[in-house]
């Protein structure tokens, strides 16, 4: 092999490596987003039936929001359809939006501490999920009329147990 051919081969190899790394990185951002969404528990609330069925809901249904409310002193909240939320935001807007204070039981204080890279991976992943579907029901203020099923997030006290103490 003459020198110019060796150089050309080396350049080709470096280019191929760079391309492969780029392709892998592109793929791994989505893998990272899927991983973070899974271990971050986002599906537990934002995917209908996920919590109740041991996480067996197919990925095609993930993060479309839920129509069962969470009721407490804050009123009744519904886990948003995150596909719709990210569809309407640029990546930069998402970084701000995802870190805003929310009503319970949304663990916004944990999400707010995610790194930019992690939040960007979640953004890319949710955008890759496809057809957003319908919005979750709207927030109902305390005392308002709630027309969906809801969980009551208020600590209960069993008076018979206390009396027996």
Question: How deeply is 65 buried, as exposed, middle or buried, from its count of CB atoms within 10 A (0-12, 13-18, 19+)?
Answer: buried
Tell whether residue 77 is a contact of ligand HEC (CB under 6 A): yes
Q: Which of 97, 92, 94, 79 is nearest to 136 (CA)?
A: 79
Does 121 engage in binding with ligand HEC (CB under 6 A)? no
98 binds ligand HEC (CB under 6 A): yes
H-type alpha helices, the chain: 3-39, 42-46, 82-87, 91-97, 108-111, 116-128, 159-164
Strand partners, 140: 76
Q: Which of 8, 17, 92, 103 binds ligand HEC (CB under 6 A)?
A: 103
29 or 111: CB nearest ligand HEC:
111
135 is an interface residue for ligand HEC by CB under 6 A: no
Interacting residue ranges for ligand HEC, rule: CB under 6 A: 40-42, 44-46, 70, 77-80, 82, 85, 97-98, 102-103, 105-107, 111, 122, 139
């Amino acid at each position: 092999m003459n020198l110019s051919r060796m150089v050309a081969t080396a350049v080709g190899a470096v280019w191929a490596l760079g391309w492969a790394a780029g392709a892998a990185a592109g793929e791994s951002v989505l893998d990272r987003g899927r991983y973070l969404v899974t271990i971050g528990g986002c599906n537990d609330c934002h995917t209908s039936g996920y919590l109740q069925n041991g996480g067996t809901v197919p990925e095609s249904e993930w993060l479309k929001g839920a129509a069962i409310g969470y009721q407490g002193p804050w009123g009744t909240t519904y886990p948003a359809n995150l596909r719709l939320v990210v569809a309407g935001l640029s990546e930069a807007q998402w970084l701000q939006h995802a870190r805003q204070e929310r009503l319970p039981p949304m663990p916004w204080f944990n999400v707010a501490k995610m790194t930019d890279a992690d939040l960007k991976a979640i953004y890319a992943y949710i955008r890759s999920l496809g057809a957003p579907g319908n919005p979750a029901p709207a927030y109902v203020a305390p005392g308002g009329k709630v027309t969906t099923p809801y969980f009551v997030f208020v600590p209960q006290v069993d008076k018979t147990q206390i009396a027996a103490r």
